[in-house]
Amino acid sequence: MRYAVTDAFRYAFNCHCSQCRRATGSAFKPFAGIERKALRLTQGGGQAMIYGDPQAAHDVHCGLCGSLLFSVVREGAYVHVTFGTLLDPPAIRPAAHIFVGSKAPWFEIADALPQYDEFPP
């Protein structure tokens, strides 16, 4: 699957919550948020694998490779796009680590970004 998204992200974080760790199979998920209308599926949309409530919050995975492309959040108004699936580097960079309160105990954050137990203030 392919998508196109405007490089006008509103915020970006590294999320350490258990759902993001599960969805990515990794220590945390770098993502950037933007209005849902800024993203469109350009190829293979019929192959999407939806995890969650299709009418509400859900994750959209590529049905062929399983990669988590983005999550629909905030009553469907926003998408959280995974940095790892962007082909071109976005202008924004993760500003902080969030949900550090549920971080994996085997992972040490080694950078100087701010850390928040849950959502940023």
What are the strands of the beta sheet with 29-35, ordered from one edge? 48-52, 58-62, 68-73, 78-82, 29-35, 11-15, 97-98
Measured from the CB atom, the residue of 5 and 97 that comes closer to Zn ion is 97
Q: How far is the CB of 44 from Zn ion (least distance, A)?
A: 25
Number of residues that bind Zn ion (CB under 5 A): 3
Closest residue by Cα to residue 27 from 87, 84, 69? 84
The DSSP element (H or E) to which 18 belongs, if any, is helix 18-24
Which of positions 11-40 make contact with Zn ion (CB under 5 A)?
15, 17, 20
The smaller minimum CB distance to Zn ion, of residues 45 and 107, is found at 107
Nearer of residues 45 and 120 to Zn ion, judged by Cβ: 120
In whole angstroms, how close is the CB of 8 to Zn ion at the nearest point? 22
- The sign of the CA dihedral 78, 59, 102, 98 is negative
The enclosing H or E element of 36 equals: none
Strand 48-52 to strand 39-43: parallel, antiparallel, or no bridges (unpaired)? unpaired
Q: Is 72 in the site for Zn ion (CB under 5 A)?
A: no
Q: How far is the CB of 120 from Zn ion (least distance, A)?
A: 12
Which CB, 3 or 13, lies closer to Zn ion? 13
**Interacting residues with Zn ion (CB under 5 A):** 15, 17, 20
